[in-house]
């Protein structure tokens, strides 16, 4: 159990920070940003006095700040845009989603949850927001809620390997080995040849008591990446 908890902690850190983790790093990659809606018609955002609020220019600045990890500035700008009364309705879900990412990256999880929930209410098909919501719940150790949110992302977009891997990690945190194995196997099918995922799958089989299958997977992971640390450690433990 100790070694699995270390892996889950690594994945949780990567989900939280967006920085690659040692085990299994790709699983924590943030969802791709939602596609921007079409530009509004000319004249949108002009108030009665004829003064234009440059929400588009500020939106670009906010996104640039988010990309630069200047989360405070990004949050301030997105908040200003949302409060301006000039944001076209078609942009509401995307803007809430992006501010949620800034909040989550700043480890302001409650605010992130609020924004992600508002984003999916505005656009129930915004699957990256469901994924990010799951990742945020995982960071709060609210694993059942994380599983539900990841599941909604999968229901909308079932070809994303990291959506399955995110849910797998939360399921593993709840010691739901069978369900975690099914999700991790789905992730491996969608991203074959990933040594980190295969090693994590081996760990899940080890924790479920299926040691021979775990050994096979550790060996497979090492055939792809001989330096895969978790597979090396797991194999050494099982072959003592």
Give the CA angle between residues 209, 215, 216 to the nearest 5°. 120
What average pLDDT score do residues 133-152 get? Answer: 98
Alpha carbon distances (Å) from 189 to 122, 135, 164, 165, 184: 32, 22, 11, 11, 9
Does residue 6 contact residue 203 with C-beta atoms inside 8 Å?
Answer: no
pLDDT at 15: 45
Report the distance separating Cα 35 and Cα 97, nearest Å. 11
When pLDDT is averaged across residues 201-216 and rounded to a whole number, the result is: 97
Task: Give pLDDT, residue 3.
Answer: 54
Residue 34 pLDDT > 60 = no
Q: What is the mean pLDDT of residues 215-223?
A: 97
Delimiting residues of CATH 1.25.40.10 domain(s) in the chain: 1-25+54-179
3-state secondary structure of 46: strand
Contact assessment for residue 190 and residue 160, using Cβ atoms and an 8 Å cutoff: yes
Of 114, 119, 118, 93, the C-alpha closest to 104 is: 114
Host H or E run for residue 183: helix 177-190
**Mean of pLDDT values over 206-210:** 96
* DSSP summary character for residue 228: -
Whether the CB-CB separation of 156 and 123 falls below 8 Å is answered with: no
pLDDT of residue 52: 79
* pLDDT tens-place string over residues 164-181: 999 999 999 999 999 999
Question: What is the distance between the alpha carbons of residues 146 and 167, in angstroms, rounded to a whole number?
Answer: 7
Instruction: Kindly state the average pLDDT of the residues 131-157.
Output: 98
Mean of the per-residue pLDDT values of the chain: 85
Q: How confident is the model over 111-127, as a mean pLDDT?
A: 98
The CA distance from 221 to 172, in Å, is 19
pLDDT for 117 equals 98
Q: Which two tokens stand for residue 155?
A: 């229901």
Q: Tell whether domain 1-25+54-179 is in CATH 1.25.40.10.
A: yes
């Amino acid at each position: 159990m100790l070694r699995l908890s270390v892996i889950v902690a690594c994945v949780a850190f990567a989900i939280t920070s967006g920085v690659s983790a040692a085990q299994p790093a790709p699983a924590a990659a943030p969802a791709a940003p939602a596609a921007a809606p079409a530009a509004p018609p000319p004249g949108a955002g002009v108030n009665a006095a004829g003064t234009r609020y440059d929400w588009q220019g500020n939106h670009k600045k906010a996104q640039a700040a988010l990309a630069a990890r200047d989360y405070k500035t990004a949050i301030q700008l997105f908040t200003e845009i949302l409060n301006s009364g000039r944001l076209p309705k078609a942009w509401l879900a995307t803007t809430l989603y992006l501010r949620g990412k800034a909040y989550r990256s700043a480890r302001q999880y409650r605010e992130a949850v609020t924004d992600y929930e508002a984003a999916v209410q505005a656009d129930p098909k915004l699957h990256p927001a469901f994924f990010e919501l799951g990742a945020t719940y995982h960071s709060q150790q609210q694993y059942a809620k994380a599983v539900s949110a990841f599941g909604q992302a999968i229901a909308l977009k079932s070809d994303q390997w990291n959506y399955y891997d995110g849910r797998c990690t939360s399921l593993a945190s709840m010691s739901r080995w069978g369900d975690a194995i099914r999700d991790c196997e789905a992730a491996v099918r969608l991203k074959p040849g990933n040594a980190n995922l295969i090693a994590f799958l081996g760990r899940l089989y080890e924790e479920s008591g299926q040691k021979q299958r775990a050994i096979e997977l550790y060996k497979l992971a090492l055939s792809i990446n001989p330096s895969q640390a978790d597979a090396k450690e797991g194999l050494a433990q099982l072959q003592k």
